[in-house]
Amino acid sequence: MNKSIEKNGLLKINKDYIGIYTTIGLFIGLFLIGSVMYKGFFSIQVFTNLFIDNAYLIVVAIGEAVVIITGGIDLSVGAMIAFVSMITASLLQKGVNPFLVMIIVLIVGIIFGTVQGFLIQKFKLHPWIVTLAGMFFARGASYVISIDTIIIDNPVFTKISSIRIPIAPGAFISINVVVSLLVVAVAAYMLKFTKFGRTIYAIGGNENSAKLMGLPTDRTKILVYTFSGFCSALGGLLFTIYTLSGYGLHCNGMEMDAIAACVIGGILLTGGYGYIIGPLFGVLTTGIIQSLIMFDGTLNSWWTKIAVGMLLFLFIALQRIIVIRDEKQKVPIPVS
């Protein structure tokens, strides 16, 4: 519920939305800076290219965000993309039906995430340890399939990769963008309007309290990692369609990009707080920084990492301010 109120003719901004407002404002500000500095930057196609180039990361960041909201973490998402790309390329190379391949890799992601969630919840293992092991397993399994790059020339995949959906004169999006936005919409609905979503926030806020309320915390935490596994597999499928290749080193370290997008998008690392639209703008913000560097032409691509690192420091500080504010509000007033 929007708690913003109008007082004395002025709109008072709800403090709960400071994080997401900051992210959106930063994205708009960077886009305007690029529009002023570089000719051709202010165009619909430059904007839509942010979605086209980062559709797979948007999907993965959504799955990561849901995990983080429960107070967990998933370090296996980047390795899963590489694993999915290798499975896809290998099966297509052997002549397996491309639509069956898509189903297979999504099932692999679901099983992979469910197993991680089961180990974390049933054996009370730390998510960092379990998902780190999952990361090594998925990355290693990619090289078991092949140590070389496998090029995809399947007609169905090349056709899907080349589809352009016009949205304005001289501007288009890809199928990957449509899929990523659908995932954002489904996740937003799930967290906002379902019991499952409310339980996710309750676990992140205080898991013991959620148990005392009778909420299905064990099942929910397992399903959260199942959802993340599905998103990482779907993101891997989108990445494979985007690059038309499978390789064991694809997206090396990309789990940090997904976590960074969540932090910049206002998802609290301690859990229990955040809006699913945040990671979308977190990804777009890192994407627009990359675009600014490309338009400049004189800067090294590593400046993207430097800029994202600086943003992380700023948003972690903002998160800390939010946490301190909430703690102060919870302090009981002494009765004299």
Q: What DSSP character marks residue 16?
A: G
- The pLDDT of residue 117 is 98
Tens digits of residue pLDDT in 188-197? 999 999 999 9
The answer to whether 82 and 247 have CB atoms below 8 angstroms apart is yes
- CA–CA separation, 188 vs 276, rounded Å? 6
Instruction: Give the pLDDT confidence score for residue 316 in this predicted structure.
Output: 85
Q: What values do phi and psi take at 125, rounded to 5? A: -90, 150
Q: Could you give the CA distance from residue 156 to residue 161 in angstroms, rounded to a whole number?
A: 9
The pTM score is 0.92
Q: Which distant-in-sequence residues (6+ apart) come within 8 Å of 131 by Cβ?
A: 73, 74, 75, 76, 116
**Do 253 and 147 meet the contact criterion of CB atoms below 8 Å apart?**
no
pLDDT tens, the chain, 336 aa long: 444 444 444 445 566 677 788 899 999 999 999 999 999 999 999 999 999 999 999 999 999 999 999 999 999 999 999 999 999 999 999 999 999 999 999 999 999 999 999 999 999 999 999 999 999 999 999 999 999 999 999 999 999 999 999 999 989 999 999 999 999 999 999 999 999 999 999 999 999 999 999 999 999 999 999 999 999 999 999 999 999 999 999 999 999 999 999 999 999 998 998 999 999 999 999 999 999 999 988 777 788 888 888 988 888 887 777 777 767 776 554 444
Q: What is the pLDDT of residues 174-212, one digit of tens each?
A: 999 999 999 999 999 999 999 999 999 999 999 999 999
CA 272/CA 66 separation, integer angstroms: 10
Q: Is 332 helix (H, G, I), strand (E, B) or coil?
A: coil
**Res 10: pLDDT:** 42
Name the residue with tokens 């990619």.
142
Q: Which amino acid appears at position 68 of this protein? A: I
Whether 227 contacts 63, CB under 8 Å: yes
Tokens (6 digits) for 211: 């148990």
Buried (b) or exposed (e) across 90-118, using 16+ Cβ within 10 A? bbbeeeeebeebbebbbebbbebbbbbbb
Q: Is residue 150 helix, strand or coil?
A: strand
Three-state secondary structure call for residue 246: strand
In whole angstroms, give the CA distance from residue 136 to residue 147. Answer: 15
Q: Which residues are bridge partners to 168 per DSSP?
A: 171
Residue 269, C-beta contacts closer than 8 angstroms, at least 6 positions apart: 68, 263, 316, 319
- State the Cα–Cα distance between residues 233 and 77, nearest whole angstrom: 8
Q: CA-CA distance, 313 to 309, in Å (whole number)?
A: 6
Distance between CA atoms of residues 190 and 60, nearest Å: 16
Q: From the centroid of its chain, how far is CA 154?
A: 28
If you write DSSP's letter for every residue of 25-64 in order, what string do you get? HHHHHHHHHHHHHSTT-SSHHHHHHHHHHHHHHHHHHHHH
Cα torsion through 169, 170, 174, 175, rounded to 10: 20
Between CA 182 and CA 171 the distance in angstroms is: 20
